[in-house]
Structure 1
Amino acid sequence: MDPESWQPMVLPKQTSDSLQFPGYQDKLKDAKKISGESEAIEIGTAKIDNYPVALGIMDSHFMMGTLNTAVGAALKQIMQVSLTQKIPLILFVASGGARMQEGIYSLLQMNSILNEWQALLDAKTLVINVLTDPTMGGVSASFGFKADYVLAEDKAQIGFAGKQVIAQTSHEILPANFQTAEDLLTHGLVDQIVPRERLRSSLATLLKLHRGK
């Protein structure tokens, strides 16, 4: 981001423990201490090479960036900001999938986020997803690949179920590069692999190409 351009937003929903899952409160306390954040995502607006953007930044240090009701609400809010302000949306995705401690409430976020996505499509809003390590589970299965451009950091693990689970279920010997960004690029599932040191310039180029949209 351009220096001093980041304008963070307060997350619209607090984390809930509706299922009273054993040990969840302790895990939340540990995650807040480790990450320094209140949840597994930050949202806000900023500029990249002087182009205004709406940003959602998931944090794998907070319970592996898992998707729950609070993260889902934040994603939907930053999507609305992108629509209202008519600025591109960029999501930096890092997640182990849906958060099991919130059960069905976490899984419901997949559908509700995709429902909100239709408005972005209708408005022809530019959306860029940057898949980082890891991008797994319900996040990859829902909005992870729903963008005009899907970029991936080099060597990032990207998939649905874990490699070991798939190997045990299929009884197949999987290739060494299975579920890597490089493998997904070969099969056309991501548009480009961008190392972190080149990410700013790559995003700036895409924003320049789509200016005014």
Structure 2
Amino acid sequence: MSLRDWFANRKKKQFNTALIESKISGDDLCKLWVKCFNCNANFPRKDLEKNLAVCPKCDYHFRIGAYERIEQLLDEGSFQEINSGMFPSDPLDFVDTAPYKERQKGAKEKTGLNEAVVTGIGSIDGWEVAVAIMDFAYMGGSMGSVVGEKVTRLIELGIERKVPIIAMTSSGGARMQESSLSLMQMAKTSCAVARANEEGILYITVLTEPTFGGVTASFGTLGDIIIAEQGARIGFAGRRVIEQTIRQKLPADFQTAEYLLKYGQVDLVSHRKDLKDTLEKIIRVHTKNTSKMKQTKAKESVG
């Protein structure tokens, strides 16, 4: 065997050994590593999770699910979900590129949720709160009849228990598959917010990436205090639709949380890591009952 053949065989063996030892598929690599949509940096997924799903390089806020929000914002073990058994119906037998029922089934398999919002009672640093948290992963966070009903019931529960109400939005707007049934949820949720206002109940909205359409035009922007998460896109119509309508180029930061703050459309912009403390301070300042909820109260049934 020549020296050249010996090196060739050695290199081949090393390559084959590497293939055998590294049985990691492309899907596995995607589970282990993440690429930032904003700065294109690559980093381990565990680093993203430790950083509350915020890019450690550029501070880009990734979208997260409703239960991840609950884990980040509410006191451990305090959350009691309500109306989790409500399912959307298909009164119009709606079909576009796929039947509505099939879309519902696919969304449930993808997210584990029955609908695009999770509602319940919990606490933030001991303060009892009623929370509605939307999940964009379920059909783009669209608001149909069940989403509107769950939000309305949550607001009514907050009024009944006389506790602050927090709505966290992430939605593309009204759900087209339910037509006028989805549009009427704008009026229904707005009326519920009006009742909370009449009763003097603090109502806070947190607008996260993205919040558009009917949710923006209803309960999303009716908060006594409106918070936007850093970098979130917020609006009614999309950027391209507006540009095509007015035939003008819009600013690069148009519809961002920071742009809305500049023009007085939101009260403050918060980084995700600061959001819990920000909410606690607002609740502490505005609540009439200065004593925090007792631990036993957190375990009471909420129906």
Q: Shared fold (TM-score greater than 0.5)?
A: yes
Match of 2:89 among 9, 16, 23: 16
Counterpart of 2:168? 92
Counterparts of residues 22-33 of structure 1 (less than 5 Å): 22=95, 23-33=99-109
> How many residues of Structure 1 are paired with residues of Structure 2 in the alignment?
213
Establish whether residue 180 from structure 1 lines up as the match of residue 253 from structure 2. Answer: no
Q: Structure 2 CA distance, aligned partners of 1:187 and 1:11? A: 38
Counterparts of residues 1-213 of structure 1 (less than 5 Å): 1-11=74-84, 13-22=86-95, 23-212=99-288
| Structure 1, 180-189 or 112-121: larger mean CA deviation | 112-121
Note the alpha carbon deviations across 1:5-27, whole angstroms, 9 max, x for none.
01111247420111110111111
Secondary structure (helix, strand or coil) at the match of 1:150 reads: strand
Q: Identity, % of aligned pairs?
A: 40
Counterpart of 2:33? none
CA contact (8 A) 1:72 1:109 kept: yes
CA contact (8 A) 1:12 1:77 kept: no
| Structure 1, 179-188 or 20-29: larger mean CA deviation | 20-29
Secondary structure (helix, strand or coil) at the match of 1:97 reads: coil
Q: Structure 2 CA distance, aligned partners of 1:28 and 1:79? A: 25
Deviation at 1:198, TM superposition (A): 0.6
Note the alpha carbon deviations across 1:56-78, whole angstroms, 9 max, x for none.
01000000110000000000100
Secondary structure (helix, strand or coil) at the match of 1:144 reads: helix
Structure with greater contact order relative to length (CA < 8 Å, sep ≥ 6): 1
CA contact (8 A) 1:75 1:113 kept: yes
| Runs of at least 5 residues in structure 1 that lack an aligned partner in the other structure | none
Deviation at 1:120, TM superposition (A): 0.5
CA contact (8 A) 1:96 1:137 kept: yes
CA contact (8 A) 1:12 1:70 kept: no
| Runs of at least 5 residues in structure 2 that lack an aligned partner in the other structure | 1-73, 290-303
Letter in 2 for 1:151: I
Letter in 2 for 1:192: L
CA contact (8 A) 2:86 2:114 kept: no
| Structure 1, 27-36 or 80-89: larger mean CA deviation | 27-36
CA contact (8 A) 1:12 1:73 kept: no
Deviation at 1:169, TM superposition (A): 1.1
Q: Structure 2 CA distance, aligned partners of 1:14 and 1:59? A: 15
Q: Structure 2 CA distance, aligned partners of 1:118 and 1:140? A: 16
Q: Structure 2 CA distance, aligned partners of 1:41 and 1:145? A: 17
Q: Structure 2 CA distance, aligned partners of 1:19 and 1:94? A: 25
Q: CA RMSD in A?
A: 1.0
